[in-house]
């Protein structure tokens, strides 16, 4: 629910901070005091279009912050998690509009697009009346209201799950059918390519081994020459070689170590070095003997590498990946060779899923029509109590054989007439804003316990009514507030007296500049405000007594 609203530099508001409670909150005030400004500011933070003209004169920006408690709104928490927007028990929306027209939106301190802000806003508050947030006009909301009221979640999930399976199979089928005309040419190409790779018979790691072998063979003469030179220096030079010199030095130090033990470690290290030199000579000799200066092996290696590189260029890949390419081509060829079998399998699967989908959708349609009739009756009865005698509400559920969606095959539309003898028309074509607001109230009264949106705002629901009907409207709003948060802008004392919380909107002037202020009324102030609404400018003792009686009657009912 909405817990706090902060408005800065918006229209004729300098700064305003409001706290809201659960239940029914009445907003009253004289015409032009700024009640619509509050709704405009709230709409802005919920994602409405920004207008730089709404910025208070002399300010460079306007800002609205709305705080919501979402601990009981699981769908909102899930949405926040999915969008990585820090889902705690509190959700803070902020909107900032600059004089140059630029607008920035934030959810829990994170910058977001206006689309995301609007999407979340529609999950948090539903505004009914003569303003933009009339979600009941949307077909998706009408369908959702009926489904929520019906409670057939299992039927809906069954339709949705089968639909997902069906779409997946249809996509595979379409891809396979679209490629059929190209299959023959593709099969010929794949056969040629796989045969060529079969003939190449490339082994795992062969390219790496061939490159190493080529480097060795291409430099065999240099390797032989330098290795032989090293052997000469180590051993084979009769006049001077490292092995002999090191042996003489080691022998000399060993004799000295017999005279002084301190040289024993040196003697041992020289002995180890001599051993290492002997082993190095042996290894180097073996390596030199193994070198082959025959150019035929080099030619064979170069020819093999050339063949591998030629085929790799054809496939536009690195030589090292040819084995993977070979496996992929073989798999694709196998799939195409069995395409007819796969096509038959998909067609049978598609037919089965279509049958399952139609059966599931028919069950959902039957349930919708059953509960639509029940909801029609309940809302029609509620309309009679709201000053629309003879009014009628009708939910049209029309199934379409050509329609296939995750939500079924039904087109659902709310229709209504406010007067006896007139044909029902689509809810979106109801001309009177006051009638629409009261129809919305009737719908909400019946469906509120099933709705996922628990903060409702009614603007001017008392338009065109008075007396006993106005009191009934107030009673319905108060009842609606027992399970929801309801904010109601009203001019009628019969409605305001039913509120759990009462806010008065005032327009004050500082010099020539008007300012909007909002007061949270205590018990005494509330009686005075309702008395003003009863009697006008002059508040009498009689109107005060009447106001007190109305409040007492509402609280004790």
Residue 508's φ and ψ, nearest 5 degrees, are: -115, 155
b/e 475-489 (16+ beta carbons within 10 angstroms → b): bbbbbbbeebbbbbb
| DSSP-derived 3-state class of residue 199 | helix
| Higher pLDDT pick, 291 / 528 | 528
In this predicted structure, which of 263-267, 330-334, 536-540 has the lowest mean pLDDT? 536-540
pLDDT for position 432: 63
Q: DSSP secondary-structure letter at 125?
A: -
The DSSP element (H or E) to which 533 belongs, if any, is helix 523-535
- Banded pLDDT at 441 (limits 50, 70, 90): confident
- Transcribe 202-248 into DSSP letters: PPTTHHHHHHHHHHHHHTHHHHHHHHHHHHIIIII-SS--HHHHHHH
- At residue 461, the pLDDT reads 64
How sure is the predictor about 552, in pLDDT bands with cuts at 50, 70 and 90?
very high
Q: Give the pLDDT of residue 34.
A: 73
Furthest-apart CA atoms within the chain: distance in Å: 137
pLDDT of residue 278: 87
Report pLDDT for 37. Answer: 85
pLDDT tens-digit map of 3-60: 999 999 998 888 889 999 999 999 998 776 677 788 889 989 999 888 888 888 888 8
> pLDDT digit string (tens) for 498-509?
999 999 988 877
The pLDDT of residue 293: 60
Share of the chain above pLDDT 70, in %: 92
Give 467-484 as a DSSP string. HHHHHHHHHHHHHHTTTS
Segment of 26-30, 58-62, 64-68, 240-244 carrying the highest mean pLDDT: 64-68
Give the tens place of pLDDT for each residue, 208-231. Answer: 988 887 887 777 767 777 877 888
The answer on pLDDT for 188 being more than 70 is: yes
Break the chain into its structural domains and give their ranges.
Answer: 179-337
Q: Assess whether pLDDT exceeds 90 at residue 348.
A: yes
Band of the pLDDT at 131, cuts 50, 70, 90?
very low
pLDDT for the residue numbered 496: 93
Count other C-beta atoms under 10 Å from residue 203's C-beta.
10
- With a cut of 70, say whether residue 449 has pLDDT above it: no
pLDDT value, residue 143: 93
- Asked which of 13-22, 84-93, 255-264, 435-444 is least confident by mean pLDDT, the reply is 435-444
Q: What is the pLDDT of residues 158-178, one digit of tens each?
A: 999 999 999 999 988 887 777
pLDDT in tens, 456-481: 888 776 666 677 878 888 888 898 88
Strand boundaries in 351-459, DSSP class E: 392-399, 410-417, 425-426, 455-459
pLDDT at 457: 87
Mean pLDDT, rounded, of the chain: 86
Strand order in the sheet with 90-98: 13-19, 2-10, 61-69, 90-98, 103-107, 110-112
The H or E element containing residue 25 is: strand 23-28
- In contact, 498 and 474? CB cutoff 8 Å: yes
Q: What's the whole-number mean pLDDT along residues 122-128?
A: 84
Q: Is the pLDDT of residue 120 over 90?
A: yes
> Residue 408: which pLDDT band, with cuts at 50, 70 and 90?
very high
CA dist list (Å): 3 to 6, 23, 98, 204, 470: 10, 12, 26, 67, 28
Determine the pLDDT at residue 181: 59
Q: What is the pLDDT of residue 105?
A: 94
**CB of 410 closer than 8 Å to CB of 397:** yes
Q: Tell me, what's the pLDDT at 127?
A: 78
From 549, 523, 552, 546, select the one nearest 534 (Cα to Cα): 546
Give pLDDT, residue 132.
Answer: 37
Other CB atoms within a 10 A radius of the CB of residue 148 amount to 15
pLDDT band of residue 133 (cuts 50, 70, 90) is: very low
């Amino acid at each position: 629910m909405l817990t706090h609203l902060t408005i800065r530099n918006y229209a004729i508001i300098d700064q305003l901070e409001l706290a809201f409670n659960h239940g029914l909150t009445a907003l009253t005030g004289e015409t032009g005091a700024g009640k619509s400004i509050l709704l405009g500011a709230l709409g802005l933070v919920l994602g409405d279009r920004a207008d730089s003209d709404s910025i208070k004169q002399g300010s460079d920006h306007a800002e609205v912050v709305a705080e919501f408690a979402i601990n009981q709104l699981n769908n909102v928490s899930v949405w926040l998690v999915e969008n990585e927007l820090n889902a705690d028990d509190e959700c803070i929306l902020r909107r900032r509009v600059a004089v140059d027209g630029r607008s920035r939106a934030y959810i829990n301190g994170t910058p977001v697009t206006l689309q995301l802000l609007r999407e979340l806003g529609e999950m948090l508050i539903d505004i009914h009346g003569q303003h933009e947030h009339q979600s009941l006009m949307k077909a998706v909301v009408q369908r959702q209201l009926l489904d929520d009221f019906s409670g057939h979640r299992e039927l809906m999930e069954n339709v949705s799950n089968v639909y997902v399976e069906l779409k997946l199979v249809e996509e595979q089928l379409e891809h396979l059918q679209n490629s059929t005309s190209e299959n023959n040419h593709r099969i010929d190409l794949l056969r040629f390519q796989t045969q060529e790779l079969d003939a190449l018979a490339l082994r795992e790691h062969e390219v790496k081994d061939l490159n190493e072998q080529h480097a060795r063979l291409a430099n065999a003469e240099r390797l032989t020459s330098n290795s032989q030179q090293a052997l000469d220096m180590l051993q084979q030079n009769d006049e001077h070689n490292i092995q002999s010199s090191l042996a003489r030095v080691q022998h000399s130090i060993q004799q000295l170590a017999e005279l002084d033990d301190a040289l024993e470690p040196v003697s041992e290290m020289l002995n180890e070095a001599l051993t290492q030199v002997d082993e190095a000579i042996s290894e180097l000799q073996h390596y030199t003997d193994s070198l082959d200066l025959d150019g035929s092996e080099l030619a064979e290696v170069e020819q093999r590498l050339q063949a591998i590189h030629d085929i790799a260029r054809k496939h536009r890949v690195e030589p090292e990946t040819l084995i993977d390419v070979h496996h992929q081509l073989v798999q694709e060829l196998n799939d195409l060779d069995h395409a007819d079998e796969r096509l038959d399998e998909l067609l049978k699967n598609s037919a089965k899923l279509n049958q399952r989908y139609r059966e599931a959708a028919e069950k959902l349609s039957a349930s919708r029509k059953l509960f639509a009739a029940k909801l029609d009756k309940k809302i029609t009865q509620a309309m009679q109590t709201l000053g629309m005698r003879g009014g009628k509400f009708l939910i049209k559920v029309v199934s379409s054989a050509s329609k296939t969606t995750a939500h079924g095959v039904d087109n659902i539309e709310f229709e209504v007439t406010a007067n006896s003898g007139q044909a029902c028309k689509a809810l979106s074509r109801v001309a009177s804003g006051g009638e629409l607001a009261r129809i919305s109230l009737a719908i909400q009264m019946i469906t509120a316990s099933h709705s996922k949106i628990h903060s409702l705002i009614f603007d001017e629901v008392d338009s065109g009514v008075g007396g006993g009907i106005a009191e009934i409207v107030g009673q319905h709003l108060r009842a609606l507030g027992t399970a929801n948060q309801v904010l109601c802008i009203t001019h009628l004392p019969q409605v305001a007296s039913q509120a759990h919380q009462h806010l008065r909107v005032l327009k004050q002037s500082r010099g020539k500049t008007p300012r909007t202020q909002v007061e949270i009324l205590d018990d005494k102030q509330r009686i005075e405000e309702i008395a003003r609404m009863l009697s006008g400018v002059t508040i009498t003792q009689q109107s005060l007594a009447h106001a007190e009686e109305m409040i007492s009657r509402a609280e004790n009912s």
